[in-house]
Amino acid sequence: GNSVTQMEGPVTLSEEAFLTINCTYTATGYPSLFWYVQYPGEGLQLLLKATKADDKGSNKGFEATYRKETTSFHLEKGSVQVSDSAVYFCALSDQGAGTALIFGKGTTLSVSS
Amino acid sequence: DVKVTQSSRYLVKRTGEKVFLECVQDMDHENMFWYRQDPGLGLRLIYFSYDVKMKEKGDIPEGYSVSREKKERFSLILESASTNQTSMYLCASFGRTPYEQYFGPGTRLTVT
C-alpha cells in the first residue's frame, strides 16, 4: 500500500542554518505530495504542495521538488529562523483513494538563536 | 478563508463514557475526515465521508463511529471511551480548488 517515510527527529539547528528534512514515498499511480507544518498548540497548516513530477512547491522560504525517479519530496530552507520551530509532516494523496492523506510520522524542528 | 472548527480544544472523559467530537466547515466541501495524532505515529485516518450520510472506514476505525447528517458537520463518536483513545483528534475538509485539505485546531482528548 501507499506509505510515506520521513527522517526522524528531532532536528536541532542554529538560526540561519540550512535545513533539509528527507521524505520518500511509496505509491501506485501518480500521487500529489504535501508538506504540512504544526506549530505548538495548533492544528496542521499546509506549507507547500506539488501535484505532478518535477513540480516545485514553495512557501515562506521553504521548497520541495517532486522527484518521481527517486520517489522523494525533500523539504529545504536556506536559512531557518527561530519561528520555524515546529513539527513538519510529509504527506501524499492518491486521488484514486478519494483524497485521504497518508502522513509520515513527523519531524520536530527546533531552532535556537 | 476556509474555516474548520472543532467543538472543544481540550476534553477529559471517564472510561466507558460516550464521547462526541464535533467538526464544522464553512466552505461547502463534500469530503471530510477524522484523523488521530499520536507521538511517533503521525496522523492516522479514522473515518472519512464523501457526502451527507455517507461514510467510509479509514485505517483505524475500531472503537469509533461517525455521523454526517448535514454537509457542513462531521461528528466522531466514541461509543465507550477507553484509555487507549487518549489522543489528539484532528478534523479536516477537502477542497478541489485549491486542491488541499484544511485542518481544524484539534481536540486533545484525555480518557481517565
Nearest to A104 among B42, B45, B104 (CB): B42
In the numeric block, the cell 485546531 is attached to B105
pLDDT at A97: 43
The pLDDT, as a whole number, for residue A10 is 94
Per-10-residue mean pLDDT of chain B, 112 residues long, equals 88 97 93 93 93 92 96 96 97 81 94 98
Contact A87, A104 (CB under 8 A): no
Read off the pLDDT of residues A72-98 as tens digits, 9 standing for 90 and up: 999 999 999 999 999 999 999 876 445
Nearest C-alpha in B relative to A88: B42
List, in sequence order, the alpha helices (H) in chain B.
Answer: none
pLDDT in tens, A101-111: 899 999 999 99
Q: Cis before residue A40, ω within 30 degrees of 0?
A: no
Q: A9 falls in which pLDDT band (50, 70, 90)? A: confident
Question: Closest partner residue to B45 among A49, A100, A104, by Cβ?
Answer: A100
Q: A100–B48: do the CB atoms touch at under 8 Å?
A: yes
pLDDT per residue as tens digits for the range A49-61:
998 899 999 999 9
